[in-house]
Amino acid sequence: MSLASRAALVTGSTSGIGLAIARALAKEGANIVINGMGDPDAIEKERASIEKEFGVKAFYNGADMSKPAEIAAMVADAQAKLGSLDILVNNAGIQFVSPIEEFPVEKWDAIIAINLSAAFHAIRAAVPAMKAKKWGRIISTASAHSLVASPFKSAYVAAKHGIAGLTKTVALELATFGVTVNCISPGYVWTPLVEKQIPDTMKARNMTREQVINDVILAAQPSKQFVTSEQVAALAVYLCSEAAAQITGANLSIDGGWTAG
Ligand code: NAD
């Protein structure tokens, strides 16, 4: 197992892409802290099943990723429970779809906090120990929307472009410390985040559900297929490997060709 003895924290890992990344890292032998919202019984079931299935240690920390103090405390908690923190995956994210002039201010603030500032707070807290150890992997789930825009997603597109810039900056700062910093930019992955935005997109564009799926979502992706969470997770595992030690500051697309056009 290539990541045995590594310790990883994956934010927003109670669902979707984050859960797939946490499971894939655990499968490679990493001990894990999972994080995210949801039903406590379902989260405990998931945590226990990661331990049982993969023979690693798995803890849950319920830090709210919009709260800087909770994020810093979670990083310290992960370091204490796992003995170190070698891999940080900034993945928690939310979406909201609305024309700019009607975009609720509190939704803008929440998206910038959870999708962008949370990564800053987690990286800031995790970096000193990674630098001291001279090994680390920081991966953020960005998006095709870190490279291109779509209408009605002002906060999300701004936050994801911010993640791309943050990634490049921190990569340069840590380049001589054995710590790589990259972001992964998926196209559309079928998760609750995508499913939830369909009704608002129907309203904003005056379309049916089928029209939104085929003419908005899959229209963006030349492959005409959704990316899977497992495909994103496999890329994250690769970035944690020794083979990827010279990949840093990169924004890796996994989008069925979306941003090639
Ligand atoms: P999801 O809704 O399935 O998962 C989001 C996770 O973030 C959940 O675990 C949720 O509990 C957690 N979360 C949300 N707000 C939180 C908060 N305040 N504090 C702690 N945790 C919080 O969505 P997903 O599609 O798996 O998205 C994961 C990441 O992937 C996001 O950053 C998203 O922007 C990005 N992404 C998704 C897609 C896609 O098509 N699904 C495409 C590109 C990028």
The average confidence (pLDDT) of the chain is 97
Q: At what angle do helices 16-27 and 229-240 cross, to 10 degrees?
A: 50
Active site residues per annotation: 156
Burial class (CB in 10 A: 0-12, 13-18, 19+), 79: middle
Question: What residues pair up with 60 in beta bridges, in sequence order?
Answer: 34
Q: Where on the phi/psi map is residue 178: left (φ > 0), alpha (ψ -120 to 50), or beta?
A: left
Q: Residue 114, Cα to own-chain centre: how many angstroms?
A: 11
Q: Is the distance from CB of 258 to CB of 222 less than 8 angstroms?
A: yes
**107: CA distance to ligand 1 center in Å?**
15
Ligand 1 site-directed mutation target among 193, 229, 251, most atoms within 8 Å of CB: 193
Regarding the beta carbon of 66 and ligand 1, being less than 6 Å apart is answered yes
Regarding the beta carbon of 17 and ligand 1, being less than 6 Å apart is answered yes
**52: CA distance to ligand 1 center in Å?**
25
What residue's CA is closest to ligand 1, atom 32?
93
pLDDT tier at 194 (50, 70, 90 boundaries)? confident
pLDDT at 69 over 70: yes
Regarding the beta carbon of 189 and ligand 1, being less than 6 Å apart is answered yes
What letter represents residue 123's amino acid? I
Token reading at 188: 């559309």
Ligand 1 site-directed mutation target among 91, 111, 160, most atoms within 8 Å of CB: 91
**156: CA distance to ligand 1 center in Å?**
12
pLDDT the model gives residue 199? 93
pLDDT the model gives residue 210? 92
pLDDT at 9 over 90: yes
Domains of the chain: 7-188+228-260 (3.40.50.720)
Q: Is the distance from CB of 50 to CB of 32 less than 8 angstroms?
A: yes
pLDDT the model gives residue 1? 66
Secondary structure letter of residue 186 according to DSSP: E
Regarding the beta carbon of 37 and ligand 1, being less than 6 Å apart is answered yes
**How far is 137 from 172, CA to CA, in rounded Å?**
14
pLDDT, tens digit, 9 for 90 and up, residues 79-136: 999 999 999 999 999 999 999 999 999 999 999 999 999 999 999 999 999 999 999 9
Q: Is the distance from CB of 90 to CB of 170 less than 8 angstroms?
A: no
CA distances from 105 to 96, 155, 158 (A): 11, 10, 14
pLDDT at 153 over 90: yes
Mean pLDDT of 165-170: 99
pLDDT the model gives residue 261? 87
pLDDT at 246 over 70: yes
For residue 114, give the ligand 1 atom closest to its CA: 18
**How far is 105 from 170, CA to CA, in rounded Å?**
29
Q: In this structure, how many other beta carbons lie within 10 angstroms of the beta carbon of residue 100?
A: 11
Q: Residue 182, Cα to own-chain centre: how many angstroms?
A: 11
